[in-house]
Structure 1
Amino acid sequence: MLTKRKVLVAITARPSYSRIRTTLQALAQQPNVSLQCLCSGAALSDVHGRVADLIRQDGFTVADECVTLVPGNEPRHMAYTTARTVEQTTTYLEQYRPDWVVTIADRYETLGTAVAAAYMGIPLIHVQGGEITGNIDERVRHAVTKLSDIHLVANQQAANRLMRMGEHPDRIFVTGCPSVDLARAARELPLAHVEEAIRSGAQGHSINLQEDFIVVLQHADTTEHQSSYQHMRLTLESVRRTGLPYFIFNPNSDAGSAAVTRAVEDFLEEGKAGVCCRVNNLEGKLFLRLLAQSRCLVGNSSVGIRECAFLGTPVVNLGDRQRGRERGDNVYDCSWDAKALAQALRKQIQRSYGGSQIYGSGYSGELMADIIAHLPEPTAKCFHEAGEE
C-alpha cells in the first residue's frame, strides 16, 4: 500500500493563496501526497477577504484555522501576530506531524510558520526566497531562507542570492512564480465575470471595463508607516486629476494599513473623487483580468512587479516597498512627489507593453508540485561554501 507524504501548506493572507493556488491544484493530483492547508493571520480576516473560505470553495482541505492576527496599526502588532503564529502553528504541528511544511514569500506570519517548523524538526519548503525589496519583508524573507530546507524560487537571480547566503545548490529549484499561472489563465476570462463580481461587492460608480480606467492598490510601507495617510492621499488625488475612472482596492494588514483605509474614506467623503469604485476584495483571477484590461496600475504592490510583467500592464510603482526586485519594462518607478507622480501617470496611461517572463511562463504550479512530491528525505543542513562539493 502506498504511503502518502503529508504536506501542510501554511496560508496567511490573500496574496499567499494566489501565489500557491496552482501548486495546490497540481499537488492534489499527486498520488503519493496527502495535502492540507493551515490558515492563519489575514487569511481569516473578513476585512481582507477571508481567503480561507475561497480555499474550501476550491476543494482544498483546511485542516485548521489559527486565529493569530492582532489588529492594530503599529509595527508591534505585526510582532504580536508573529508570536501568536509561532505558538499556534507549533501546537498544530505537534498534533498533525506533517512530513513537509510549505511557507510562502515574506510576510511576518511566514516567519512564524518557519520558526515553528524549524524548532519542531519538520522539513520546511520556502516559496519565493532570494528576492530583494525595500522594507522589513526582505529581512523576514532572508531569515526564512536560513530556517528552510528546500527553496522554490522565481528566477535565477534569486537562486544566485541564496547560494551566496550559503544555501546548497541541490536545495534550490528555479520554478518561476505560480501567481503568473493565474495571470496566464486570467487572460482568457470573459470581462462579464469581472463585472458581475464587482457589482456584487463594490461601492461607488459603475465603470465601463471596455473603456480606459486605472487600478489603485497601495499598501503601507512598514519603514514609513507614519506617512501612510499622506502617501495614499497623494496617490488618490493624482489619479483623480488624470480624469480617468479608477478602482480603489483595500490594503493588506501591515502596520499603517488603518491609515491607508482612513485616507480612502476621507477622500471619498469629501465628494470630489470623480468617477471611482471601491472594492474590498476580488477573487485572484478576476483581479488579474481587471489588471490586464486596465490602462495602468498605481501603487506599491508586488502584483505590479510579478503578474503585471507577464500581462504587460503599465505600472506606476511608488516608493521603496518593491525596491530591488527584478522588473519588466512595464514598471515606472516613482517617488512620493506630486509632480513626479503626475508625470509618471501621463506617461504610463499612454503606453503599451509586451509581456515578460522574468517571473515564469505560467506553468510553475505543476513544476513545483512535481518537485515537492518527489523530494528525498532531507539531510542535516549546514552552511555551504561556494566551490565546495
Structure 2
Amino acid sequence: MTRMHLSPRLGLLRDPDFGRLFAATALGQLGDRIIFLSLPLVAILALHADEFQVGLLTAMTTAGSLLVGLPAGAWVDRMRKRSVMISTDLARALVLGTIPVAWWAGLLTIWWLYAVALVHGVLTVFFDIAYVSYLPHLVGRGHLVEGNSKLAAIRSVTSISGPAMAGPLVGWAGAPATLLVSSAGMAMSGVLAIGIRSRERKPESGPKPGERPRLGRDIKEGVRFALGHPVLRATILGDAIFNLSLVMYQTMLLVFLARKLNLDSSGIGLVLSGMGCGALLGALTATALSRRVGQGAVIWLASLVTCPLTVLMPLARPGWSLYAAALGLSCLSLGGVVRVVAQSSLQQTLTPDRLLGRMNATARFVSWGGIPLGGLLGGASGSAFGATATLWIGAAGMTLSVLPSYLSPLRTRFQNGRVRA
C-alpha cells in the first residue's frame, strides 16, 4: 500500500482510515478493560459467587483461544478482515448487553455469565486475529512498526484509564449496569470500523469452485509455515515461555504484596498502575528504539534488559526497596511492549497476505496455550514453596524466554528491520 507524505509528528494519524482504526481501538479497548474488572464483580457482588465459580468464570474468558484458536485463523484467511472486525465488535456488544438486561429482569445466573464469557472470548479470538492481519493491508508493510506502536500506545492508555473508570462506575451504578459502558464501547468501535474506506481484495485462500473445503489442510498449512520458519518459530516459542512464566509470577504477586508487604488495595493499585505507565512509555518509544537498535535485535534485547529486574520484587521489603521493585515491574511492561511491537511487525512482514490469519492464529494458540497451565503451576508452586519462591521461579522463566530469539537468525539476518539476503 503506497502512502502519501505524512507529518513527522502525527505520522499515520494523519491518514483518515488509520485514524478511524485508532479511535475504534481506543473505544474497543476501553470497553475491554472495563469488562476485565466488571465481569468478575458481577459474579462476586451481584450473584455472590464463591471462589471456584469466580475462577471458572475467569477460565471461560480465555477458553476461546484453545477451543477455536487454530481454525479461526483458517476461517479469517477466507474472509475480509475488516468485515470480521466489524461483525465481531457488534456481536460482542450485543452479547455483553444481555447481562444488565437479564439482571434487571431477574434472570441473571452464574451460568448466564459463563455463557457470555465463553461466547465473548470466542468472538475476541476472531477479532484479534483479523485485527493484526488487517494492519499490513491498511498501513503498508513499510509502516508496520509505527502502526503497531501507535495502537499499542492507545491500548496502554486504556489499561490505565479503564480500571480507573470501572471502579467508580461499579460503585455508582452497580457492576451489571457498568457493562453497558463496555457494550457501548464495542458497538462504537464497530461503527467506526465501518467508516474505514480501505477495502481488501477478496482472499484467494478459500476453496476454488467445485473444490471441497478442507479446513484441516488450511490449518496444517498455517501451522507448518509459522513453526517451520526459524524466526517465527523462535519468537512464538519465546512468547510461550514468557507468558507461562509471567502468569506464574502474577498469580502470586498479589499474595506477596498483600501478605508479605502488608499493602492495602490502594497500594496494590498503585503498583499495578505503574506497570500500565511503563507499557505506555514502551509504546511511545518502540518505533525509535526499533530504528536505533534494529528491529531484530530489539526483540531479544528488550527482554534481556528488563526481565531480570523482576527479581527486585521478591527481594523487596517495606520502604525504598518496594519502590525499586515497582519500578522494575514498570520496566518489565516497557520492555514487553517494545518487544511485542517490533515482534508483531516482523511477523507481519515475514508472512504472505494469504497466511496472515493462520500465522497469527498459530502464534496466539501456542503462546497463549500455556496461560491456564501457568496459573495452575503458580498456585501449586505457591502452595508448595510460598509466594516469594514462586516470584523467583517466574522471574527466572521470563528471563530465560529470551533464549529462543537470541539463538535464532534474529541476531544476524535483521539489521534496522531489513532482511539480509
TM-score scaled by length of structure 1? 0.29
Give the number of the structure with larger relative contact order, counting CA–CA contacts within 8 Å between residues 6 or more apart. Answer: 2
Bigger helix share: 2
Bigger strand share: 1
Greater radius of gyration (CA)? 2
